[in-house]
Structure 1
Amino acid sequence: MKVMTAVKRVVDYNVKVRVKADQSGVDIGNVKMSMNPFDEIAVEAATRLKEAGQASDVIAFTCGPAQCTETLRTALAIGADRGLHIQTDVELQPLAVAKLLKAAVEREQPQLVILGKQAIDDDAGQTGQLLAALLDWPQATFASAIDIQGDKITVTREVDGGLEVIELPLPAIVTTDLRLNEPRYVTLPNIMKAKKKPVDTVSPTDLGVDPAPRLKTLKVVEPAARKAGVRVADVAALIDKLKNEAKVI
C-alpha cells in the first residue's frame, strides 16, 4: 500500500508571532520555522504503518517556496521514503493546497492520504475535507486511532460527545488529532540519511493547477490586550459586575 502525507512549514509553536507594521500579515523575518505539529503526527502515523508492514512506500508532500524543502527533509528523517515539493511563491490558501494535493494524488496513486487536522498558523482545518471532496474519497477527520485490515481502515475519531468509530473503504483521507501518536525524536543519523532520499520538485503549472488566492486579506491585527482581573467582596458584587459591567448576564 502506498501512503501519502502532507507537511507544512509554519512559524515554530514556541515563537511569539509579530504583526508587520503595515498590518499586511505576520512577520516571519529571522523567525524560527518548523513543521506544523499536526503534520508531524501524520508523518509518524504513515511511518508506523510502514514499520508494521502495512505500507510499502511513504511519500511526503509539501507546497510553497524553496525553503519548504527543509520541512520536507524533516519528514524524510522521520521515516518517509521520498518527497514531492510543489514549489511556488504564491500565497497558498486551503483550496489551492487541496487542488495541488489532488494533482499529486492523481500522479502518485496512493491508497491512503494522511494529513494534520489543521495548521497552527491559519487554523483553517479545511484542506483534508476539501481534498476528500475533490477526489470524491471517503474521509475520517480528527483521528485518535487507526487500524487497517485488508482494503478497509477503521478510524477512532474525537468528537464533542466522546469517541466515534467509523470504517472506511480504501482509498481514503484521514486527518490526525493530537492523541493519535507522539512523533519520534529525529536523530542526527536519520537527518543525514534524509539528505540522500529523493525529492522531486515541480511547479503548479506542471500539474495544471492555478494556485492563485481567492480571498484577500484586508489587514492583520494583534488581539486586544487582556484587562487585569479584579477581586470582589462577595457573590452579590460578582453578579453585579457581570450584569452591569461585563453585560454577560
Structure 2
Amino acid sequence: MAHPHHRPAAALQLKEPVLAVADLSAELYYHAQLELMPRLGRAWQQLSAHYPGLRLWHNGGSAPWISEALSHLGIPAERLLCAHRHPHLQASLLLVPSYSSSFGRPGVCSLRWLRGFWGAITERLPKPDTSGLGVFLSRSPAQRRPLLQHQRWLLATRKLGLYQPSLGCSVAQQLRALQRTERVVMAHGGAMANLLLMRPKSEVIELMNPGYQPPYSTSLLVSANQRHRRCLGAVTPQILQDLLYAGPLEWPLDLEPSALTGL
C-alpha cells in the first residue's frame, strides 16, 4: 500500500512527439552500446525526418559514452529527455520501437547498423598502432569482478607479446584501438563491446569466473567470424560468496597467468 502522503511526481507534458527508448541495464556500457544504441539510432534516423520537432526520451543516463553517441547521431541537446530526471511524461504522440533481439545478445541487423555507424566515425581517426599485435585488457582491483593477481598478469602478458594499450577516452577511440588487433586476451566485462570492429578471424580469449558465464558476447563474436575461447578461473569459495559479494555479478576472476601457456 502506498504511503498516504506519498505522491508520484507529476508527468512532464509535451506537445511535441517523443521517441521513447528504454532498455534493461541501459546505464551499463555493454548494454548501452549493443542494445540501446541500435534501437535508438535506427529509429531516430528514420523518424526525425518525418517529425521535425521529435524529442528523445531514453534511460541511458548521462554517461560520456551515451553523450558521445547521441552527438554523433546529431540529436540536439534541447531534444533530449533523460528518464532519470523525467520518469513520467505525456506526449501528443509517443513512438516506442520494438525490441529486435534478446537481452545481451544483439541481433544481426543491430550489429550491422552499429558497425556501419561507428565504422564511418572511426575511419576519420588516425590509424591505430595495434596492427598485427596482441592486446591484453584487464580488470583492475577497483573494478567489479576484478582480475586477481593483476600485476602478475601484466608481467606475464608482456612476456607473451601482449600489451595493454591506452584505449582513449572516447568510444570511437576505443573501437579504433582494437580495430586491427589480431588477438585480445581480456577479462569478461563491458569492454567486450569494444570488439565490435575487430576484423574477421581475429582471436578473443575471455577470462571468466565459472560461476558467471553469460552468453552475451556470442552473437557479437560469431557475426564477425572471430575465434573465441574461454579460460575459466577457480570457483569463488562459498564463504566469500556469502560474506563479501552480493552475487555472481561481483565474483572476482581467480585465474593464474599460466592459463595462457601455449598461446
TM-score between both structures, scaled by the size of structure 2: 0.29
Higher relative helix content: 2
* Larger RCO (alpha carbons 8 Å, 6+ apart): 1
